[in-house]
Amino acid sequence: MRHSIVQNLINISLFLIAINNAAYALGTPAGTVISNTVTVEYNQNGSPQTSTDTVVFSVQEIIDVNLVSQDASNVLVLTSSLDQVLTFLVTNIGNGIEEFSFAFDASPIGTDDFDPTNLRIFIDSNNNGVFDTGGIDVEHIPALNDVSLDANGVDSQVIFIVGDIPPALIDGDEGLIEITANATTAGAAGSTPGTILVGLGDGGVDALVGLTEASVDTPGTYEVASLIDVNITKNAQVIDDTAGGGSCTTAPCSPIPGAIIQYSLDVVASGIDTAANVVITDAIPTDTTYEPSSITLNGIPLTDSSVDADAGFIAANVITVNLGDLTNADNHTITFNVVIN
């Protein structure tokens, strides 16, 4: 009877520890046998006596999983494009070896602009983090090739969602996908944290559902973009109009002769391709004179000469700045000054 009471107290303690454990169930592997012996020594009628009692238990398995998108932002795609890839990383954060199966939802709760089609899930079979076609990365079929992962966050697997983008979409349209990782232990996925699954843990110990409910959903988003666009925005600011009182700072603006005007050119690339050999040219306006050595690129001064190594110069009263190749989200700011004649 005493052993039964002690074992029940141990089970309750393990349950409370598991429920209050923060996010990751790192710790002693499931099935580990822990033994503890107490000894009492005494004398009886001058004769030494010894008595012992031992309690033995096996550590329960906690079933927990983590699933994180590996895309830093929305994945840019072209309308009417095929086999576009979202990338995720699944990690076993329980304390036992566990298998995980995967599913997707093309229309999760929320607002988006389109549903991708022909969606499939692939396993990164060669573990290079890149979706490889030609049978290298294998399509996931639930219950056929579920992913087995070692315990305690030391084992992860990259998973890809691959889908087709419908036609007739416009730039900025978004398609939201949700991928789910489920522990395959019977009764685990979606159960209330603390649910005990008798005998279903590693080595036949009990398993306990962790804080993630042994199932986790993670979103990924496709965003339609142009092949490549380079946009430029030009602004002018009076930076020296002392003779006019220095008040000409907003439009409509009528600075007086001798005022110094600074032009600012903001260049932004967007899309999924590369704009090669981007060159910016800007002619000095009539009735103004270029202020020598005033060209800057991203705040760094450029020389006026065309025969040195920097990106900019002025020749025949035209500012030229070579920006090279631009890809999505590349941005640059060019400034130069003129004086009103």
- Residue 209 CB neighbours (<10 A): 28
State the pLDDT at residue 33: 86
Q: Is residue 244 exposed (0-12), middle (13-18) or buried (19+ Cβ within 10 Å)? A: middle
pTM as predicted: 0.72
Nearest-5° Cα angle at 155, 154 to 158: 135
Give the bridge partners for 324, in sequence order.
278
- Which residue blocks in 141-279 are alpha helix, DSSP H? none
C-alpha torsion angle, residues 290, 292, 298, 302 (rounded to 10):
130
Q: What share of the chain is helix, strand, coil (3-state, %, to 5)?
A: 5, 50, 45
Pairing label, strands 318-326, 312-315 = antiparallel
Distance, CA of 17 to CA of 328 (rounded, Å): 48
Give me the average pLDDT of each 10-residue run along the chain (341 residues). 43 45 60 91 92 90 97 95 98 96 91 95 97 96 97 95 97 96 97 96 94 96 93 91 56 77 95 93 97 97 94 97 94 96 93
pLDDT score, position 243: 56
**What is the full DSSP assignment across 105-170?**
ESS-SS--S---EEEEEEE-TT-SSS--TTTTSEEP-TTTSPEEE-STT--EEEEEEEEEPPSS--
pLDDT, position 250? 54
Q: What Rg do the C-alpha atoms of the chain give, in angstroms?
A: 33
Tokens read off for 189? 């996925």
**CB-hemisphere CA count at 13 Å for 181?**
32
